[in-house]
Structure 1
Amino acid sequence: MPLTSPARRIVGILRLAAGLTLAVALTFQIIEKIVNNDMVADQYFSYFTIQSSLVASVVLIVGGVMALRLPVDTVLYTMVRMSVLSYAVVTAVVYNVLLRGIPEEGFIESKWPGELMHVWIPLFIALDWLLSPGRPALRWTGLRYVVIYPLAWVAFTMLRGAATGWFPYPFLEPSTGALSISVYVVGIAGFIVGIASLAIGWSRRRAAPELARVPA
């Protein structure tokens, strides 16, 4: 097995640290909610931020181990990582543009887990994509896979909301109107595809030399 470079080992350590920190933040938030009788599990785990953060934690930890063991990330891992990057960036933008500052009702939870999930981890994931060595180039056909999870999440959320009357984000509330909801959903989906397109383009420009040439 080829030895990894010092840069790859540093990346591995940073990914592990970020993934474990995110896991700690999620665990802390869950415990805090339970202790303060504020945990409604089916609602908490319905948030796009929570679901994508759980996935991001696993992907970062797996990527950390991979960077410590292999000189180049696998194509499958890189595809998943590209999807996680798209979700993280969109989560950060949507939260900071649309949701930050909305008054909280009931128990006021600690701020640092939310800031970590909505600001610092997305920033780390973006920098990791831009700067880390050992990334293979991705095919443009990978774009078709990026939107599967967000669209499935929206469909499930709207069906669940119609049955329960609860929606995780204000811009999905039926009271805002079907047109408004459609604009937000289409806009966010387009943003996800746009981020993924930039990520794939960057991967093809800055790929690991041994995997730099791939067909479209």
Structure 2
Amino acid sequence: MTTWWPFARLAAAVLGLAAIIAQLARSIENALASTTEWGQHLPTVAANFFSFFTILSNVLAVIVLAIGAIWSLRHRRGTEPEPTWFAIILACVSTYMIVTGIVYNTLLRGVELPQGVTVPWSNEVLHVVIPLFLLADLLFAPRRRALRWSAVAIATIFPIAWVVYTMIRANLIIAPATGETWWYPYPFLNPHIVPGGYLGVAGYIVGIAIAIIGVACFVVWVGRRRSAAVPLTA
């Protein structure tokens, strides 16, 4: 597995990048075909695209998988575990992608979207294939390094920043597709449609935060169990 896993990481990175580009191209294509001023505003369309947690997580996954593959190939004759800095970033990305897969397939799988908004194969790659690959990477990739439990706290930094950014930005944007004076990347964050308004949204945020912490604990625990490094305390 040590010899071919780097190539599996590279293949996953290429597939993820292709899926991101395909969906971005579709979003731009839809914007150019729009008949409204706000729908044709490409800077907003592009910014919205990269405001989805799924897209940001997949961009990070593509980068981290490529870095991991290159590191493994450059150190293929060694037996040392992956460097700590990389192990922390990989643990964070694994957490985000696994949570993305869970949230999409439990909360968003049945949400109907206008025909042509998404690229079907890209949608499945970003929400199912890459999350499953990161789970497989966690369970089977060689040379996994044990991390301290403080890595769980590190994994929460990006999601917290994303939620704050999303909730502040939402009411400053005109939705390209509808012209509404707000734009939320996911329906469960939209207080205009969630029962209970902001209180209902807060419930979803707390639930997802619990999921992120739980998955991060699982990722760190698996890494500690699998690592060949000297056991860590704390």
TM-score normalised per structure 1:
0.91
Cα distance between partner residues in 1 of 2:116 and 2:138 = 36
2:230 to 204, 209, 212: 212
What is the number of residues matched between the two proteins?
208
1:174 to 171, 180, 191: 191
- CA RMSD in angstroms comes to 1.5
1:55 to 37, 56, 60: 60
- CA-CA distance at 1:106 after TM superposition: 5.9
Cα distance between partner residues in 2 of 1:137 and 1:116 = 29
Aligned 1:10-159 pairs, distance under 5 A: 10-36=4-30, 37=32, 40-70=45-75, 71=79, 72-105=81-114, 107-159=116-168
2:171 to 137, 148, 162: 162
Contact 2:22 2:119 in 1 (8 A): no
**Residues 6-43 of structure 1: CA distance to partner in whole angstroms, max 9, x if unpaired?**
x2221101001101111111112222332343661111
Q: The residue matched to 1:98 in structure 2 has which SS?
A: helix
Which AA in structure 1 matches 2:74? Answer: R
Which AA in structure 1 matches 2:190? Answer: E
Contact 1:136 1:212 in 2 (8 A): no
Q: Structure 2 unaligned runs (5+)?
A: 34-41, 174-181
- Of 12-21 and 162-171, more deviation after overlay is shown by 162-171
Cα distance between partner residues in 1 of 2:204 and 2:113 = 22
Contact 2:26 2:117 in 1 (8 A): no
Cα distance between partner residues in 1 of 2:191 and 2:117 = 26
- CA-CA distance at 1:119 after TM superposition: 0.3
- Of 189-198 and 96-105, more deviation after overlay is shown by 96-105
Cα distance between partner residues in 1 of 2:62 and 2:74 = 19
Which AA in structure 2 matches 1:200? Answer: V
The structure with the greater share of residues assigned to helix is 1
Which AA in structure 2 matches 1:9? Answer: T
Cα distance between partner residues in 1 of 2:115 and 2:126 = 21
Aligned to 1:4: none
Which AA in structure 1 matches 2:14? Answer: L
Cα distance between partner residues in 1 of 2:56 and 2:48 = 11
- CA-CA distance at 1:212 after TM superposition: 3.2
- CA-CA distance at 1:103 after TM superposition: 1.6
